[in-house]
Amino acid sequence: MAGPRTLYDKIVDAHTVRALDDKGRVLLYVDRTILNEYTSPQAFTGLREAGRTVWNPAAALMVVDHVNPTTPRRTADMPDAGAARQAAYFAQNARDFGIELIDVLDPRQGIEHVVAPEQGLVLPGMVVAAGDSHTTSYAALGALGFGIGTSDIEHYLATQTLVYRRLKTMRITLHGAAGLGVTAKDMVMELIRRIGADGAVGHAVEFDGPALVALSVEERMTLANMIVEAGARGAVMAPDDKVFRYMDGRPRAPRGALWQRALAAWAGLASDPGARFDRSFTLDVAEVAPMVTWGTSPDQAAPVAGRVPAPEAEAEGDPARRRAAERALAYMDLRPGTPLDAIPISHAFIGSCTNARIEDLRDAARVLTGRTVAPGVRAIVVPGSTAVRVQAEAEGVAEIFRQAGFEWRQSGCSMCLAMNDDVLAPGDRCASSTNRNFEGRQGAGARTHLMSPAMVAAAAVTGRITDVRRLAAPARKPEPCSLS
């Protein structure tokens, strides 16, 4: 393509095997995929029935993360017969097709989007496609990541390629300085609130701006992970020295002379000055406050110091939005005008591919130091990987959680989507660091309020949704809290 190009276009161009038509469809080479036991079975069955092999087994990694138990004592026992069959078929596929498997008892086990960066399997300039929509997380490392369906997984495994339609491009520029208690989770929640759950549909989002540069790599992963909740079909970020330092020395990252050659190649991974984007959006992060969702879609959110909105105010003249708000409030059992920080909770959950890395756990631990979980609240923390768990234990972070009254669990997707035995009951209300608050997401009839890990910690010790800024200074000694 002539003229200045976006980073998205550069990566797609470099991976295009051939153009398929004049409507933007190409045959796209894909560098890597990460497979889980939940989205891959049908793809392997399709390969078996067609008598096909996997073209390049070394370009795939299989990770058990969705259905495994996260009980404090690690076990390979599955919560039910269905999960056991999924795990067993997954292991059989790994053996039969020669793909590396990280099973439940492997010390590298964890959520796929945490494990792959930890192991150095995702590198700048790569295309990574996987059967999970939050594959966009890898944008934080300078890769183009996106989710694909089961038939695409099968096609990829057989050919190392996908039939891919180019996306429109959307630039989101972050500037300003974040205030007290504001995290990357709050920034992306505010973005989704402003542009809507369909605000990035059909687009690949590129994040840039000085406020992005100020974020750590793990914070950037949170942004990239959750922008899919605005409908983004892919995401990219230009890699910088923070990214290179993060990757240096990872088990699968290049080493020695190859590392130096890689650094030289990655230096050009940025959008050209003057590159044209189909859409642009700017956010001053100084305007962002700690956020919380009140409804059943990630864009139904508000600053924690606000109130539950009235459907007519939320709808802005759109009848469909008004009906969605009315349904959400009925499901969440909330009334317009209720202060968000007056809503009591029964559960607090810290985990998921969005917010279960070591920095997330440290953020929550700072709030929990010297405090205890409120009576009547069940609090759970599930590290994003076994490596994160081990690091948190070595740093003393795990002990802070235990002393505060949190259950310190093993790694896995857990209560993010309730596919194992970590399930809420009807009517339970959970402060959650996860990425989706859909009806039934954490259990049939359960109610989910999305927020940052620090905000979850604040809610856990007060028994209600709480502005974390009120707890910025740790208490000197444990303080019993009540729901009243």
The pLDDT value recorded for residue 472 is 67
Between strands 25-29 and 161-165, the pairing is antiparallel
Residue (of 445, 449, 399) closest to 424 by Cα position: 445
Residue (of 303, 306, 301, 299) closest to 289 by Cα position: 303
Domain ranges of the chain: 7-281, 291-471
Residue 361, helix vs strand vs coil: helix
Residues 109, 189 contacting (CB under 8 angstroms): no
CATH superfamily of 7-281: Aconitase, domain 3 (3.30.499.10)
Dist. CA 355–CA 361, nearest whole Å: 8
Residue (of 39, 193, 51) closest to 113 by Cα position: 39
Helix (H) or strand (E) holding 18: strand 16-19
Dist. CA 335–CA 171, nearest whole Å: 36
| Full pLDDT tens readout for the chain, 484 residues | 578 999 999 999 999 999 999 999 999 999 999 999 988 999 999 999 999 999 999 999 999 989 888 888 888 888 888 889 999 999 999 999 999 999 999 999 999 999 999 999 999 999 999 999 999 999 999 999 999 999 999 999 999 999 999 999 999 999 999 999 999 999 999 999 999 999 999 999 999 999 999 999 999 999 999 999 999 999 999 999 999 999 999 999 999 999 999 999 998 999 999 999 999 999 999 999 999 999 999 999 999 999 999 999 887 888 999 999 999 999 999 999 999 999 999 999 999 999 999 999 999 999 999 999 999 999 999 999 999 999 999 999 999 999 999 999 999 998 898 878 889 999 999 999 999 999 999 999 999 999 999 999 999 999 999 999 999 644 333 333 332 2
The pLDDT value recorded for residue 476 is 36
Residues 290, 459 contacting (CB under 8 angstroms): no
Dist. CA 294–CA 291, nearest whole Å: 10
pTM > 0.85: yes
* 7-281 against 291-471: fold identical: yes
Tokens matching residue 234: 């892919």
Please list, in sequence order, all residues whose beta carbon lies within 8 angstroms of the beta carbon of residue 152, skipping any fewer than 6 positions away: 129, 162
Check whether domain 291-471 has CATH 3.60.10.10, yes or no: no
Residue 293, helix vs strand vs coil: strand
Residues 218, 346 contacting (CB under 8 angstroms): no
